[in-house]
Structure 1
């Protein structure tokens, strides 16, 4: 099956939980940037609460899905950004009970379910931005807000680089979900 959209950019989070809203802020900034400086055609921008069913619906049958979410590790450096992409030789692992996300079921569970249902993107890139504050309230902390413009440029480069790649492999040549490994770039 051919991809429905060439690219889905999905911001996960909650704009009323301070830094947890970084995914939404990145998507909004990318949409503003795209209005001034057009991106390749076929891009869908979406904001999600992270529900696995909704995530799968947003990225299924896309050639590229870029997901942006906040993370809250114990020794965080607010604004530091991590990038993972599909890579053979390992697997994404659930963070378990001490997870660093604000979502009950996370991205890993959505990826596994999407793989089982054969409703996943051909290629996935995940950006996790370390946050400082996930308390109730609107607005990002200054360190996380400063990370947004650079992240928008990185995602734009991912999109443009992906669009320069020739034909997409058929679904059966996709990397199986149990062979993806997180890679900090």
Structure 2
């Protein structure tokens, strides 16, 4: 069994499907910010296409996994951010759906069934406006990338002062 860092932040999506690339954009922003201010020790930044087995492999053995993904919600408000927090004992179905065929919900359910959920899973789902082929985020989604990166970074820093597996 591989041992992963205590905390992993995963940007999920496809940067060639416009707003579906928001997770990757947030990871890119976090990497740029980390050049000036390091993230807490043991933090890994990763991107993933959303395939459930790859997601599970990235968060397996982590005390905390933070996932940023695009979401579809009806009715939707492009750029609106949903925050869901799950622990290994409580899994609920989110009100939004992933923009992928097999989504984060399926990965969570599979990981739960296999006993491979991180101790704490935090999901930031950003409602998108455009998932057509191409690059570049819609203005509403692009506007939340930096504030969401700051929010994730703040959450990671707050976590540093707590015991393993706990988020404030």
| TM-score normalised per structure 1 | 0.82
Where in structure 1 do 4 or more consecutive aligned residues deviate above 3 Å?
Answer: 87-91
Q: Which of 139, 143, 147 in structure 1 is aligned with 2:140?
A: 143
Distance 2:141 2:102 in 1: 24
**Aligned residue in 2 for 1:174:** none
Aligned residues: 165
Determine the structure 2 residue equivalent to 1:120: 117
Counterpart of 1:181? none
* Residue of structure 1 in register with 2:57 after alignment: 57
How far off is 1:101 after superposition?
2.6
SS at 1:45 equivalent: strand
Matched residue, 2:27: 27
Q: CA RMSD in A?
A: 2.2
Deviation at residue 4 of structure 1 after TM alignment: 2.9
Q: Secondary structure at the match of 1:86?
A: strand
Rg: which structure is higher?
1
Q: How does 1:89-168 map to 2 (within 5 A)?
A: 91-93=91-93, 100-168=97-165
Secondary structure of the corresponding residue to residue 121 of structure 2: strand
Instruction: List per-residue Cα deviations over 1:87-140 (Å, max 9, x = no partner).
Output: 699642277xxx743212111111121122222211110000011000111000
TM-score with structure 2 setting the length: 0.90
Q: Which residue of 1 aligns with 2:16?
A: 16
Residues 64, 162 of structure 1: 8 Å contact kept: no
Partner Cα distance (1:86, 1:133) in 2: 28
> 2:12, 2:47 within 8 Å by CA — same for their partners in 1?
yes
Question: CA–CA distance in 2 between the matches of 1:120 and 1:150?
Answer: 27
The aligned residue for residue 182 of structure 1 is none
Q: 1:40-87: per-residue Cα shift (whole Å, max 9, x none)?
A: 111111111100000000000101100000112232111111101026
Unaligned runs of 5+ in 1: 170-185
Question: Higher strand share goes to which structure?
Answer: 2
Structure 1 residues 130 and 41: CA distance shift in structure 2, 3 A: same
Higher alpha-carbon deviation: 16-25 or 36-45:
36-45
